[in-house]
Structure 1
């Protein structure tokens, strides 16, 4: 495990331990926060750690998947902040040239029941194989543009091995048949899922995380989609969809 991954995990674990000194050591002073519920800067993060430490119920953090791409680490986490309930999240941390955590993005949602195929938002393959990062990034980037952005929908079948893949979205079953049924149900209800812009596609081995903005069921949302690639096809998919607030505790924007 790389130092940056260890440090990213250590930072979020300060929510559990209340170790403000460690958090201070890990953070750049000009830390940039994109979570809309928190102010920006290291001091605001420290204040959140202090607040959770004083709560009557201890916060829990579990990292399910951890990857690194250049100066960024991306984690798939399960949180329970001060007993408020389980939340699944993707966290992205950018490290500066001094090895300090300089910037953070995330997407969170309540942990739901298993989907129609019996899969949850966090189970499935957790570690990548030694695959070509750039090939994974290219495949996922093309899929996002062709299919999620709707630019080349006729290519849909080409991204899957005989239409098979494992789906962890809370409301969609496995395989292209499950995806088609879910999209048809949304269309019948007059609900749209629209991807307008993709900001990042981070990759390590055969995993890639795409960060996008768009609309879901009439709401302005952020889409975080994690894909696992196998033999040149998309083999598994996890996601977190979160509403984008009209007002935020910082001016850095969601993305």
Structure 2
């Protein structure tokens, strides 16, 4: 029997969430607002994380709530953290591969690289937008392995 991987709990949790979502009553979606939120987040993300334009954080709420344990809460601490990161890693890039929205949430599937030659990491960033401001963020990061058990890419 094959030994379970570290990903198994995440797969099981995802399956349970999907099963619950299948039984939930559908809510009316405001697709125009979701697209406005998606556009806001994509523009912010590209300017901030690719161009290292920290002024792009003007769309981040002062009370920004961060769920990545390495990054502090609040807009000013967020900008300060990444200003230092960009100075240490000036060649970072974050290619947005796909996006999705659901209500006030915007999901980005990203290929992050600290250096152009790195294999990088697969990242799922989730942003919550409220009244035209990014107010909350979660992420899940997985390194791109040298070898995979299949021929699919992570992107």
The number of residues matched between the two structures is 138
Would you say 1:224 and 2:124 are equivalent positions?
yes
Higher-Rg member (1/2): 1
1:155 matched to 2:61? The reply is no
Say if 1:195 and 1:212, in contact at 8 Å, map to a contact too: no
Please give the secondary structure, in 2, of the residue aligned with 1:227: strand
Superposed, 1:82-93 pairs within 5 Å as none
Specify the alignment match of 1:200 in structure 2: 98
Give CA deviations for 1:154-206 in whole Å, capped at 9, x if unaligned: 3322x123x22100111111112221332255357x34682341101110111
* Superposition map of 1:186-197 within 5 A: 186=85, 190-191=88-89, 194-197=92-95
- 2:113 counterpart of 1:212: no
CA contact (8 A) 1:200 1:210 kept: yes
Match of 1:180 in 2: 79
Q: Which has the higher helix share?
A: 2
Runs of 5+ unmatched residues, structure 2: 22-26
Q: Can you give the 5+ residue segments of structure 1 that lack an aligned partner in the other structure?
A: 1-49, 68-74, 76-127
Normalised TM-score (structure 1): 0.46
SS of the aligned residue for 1:135 comes to helix
1 CA distance for matches of 2:152 and 2:144?
Answer: 13
Secondary structure, counterpart of 1:224 in structure 2:
strand
Aligned equivalent of 1:139: 40
TM-score, normalized by length of structure 2?
0.71
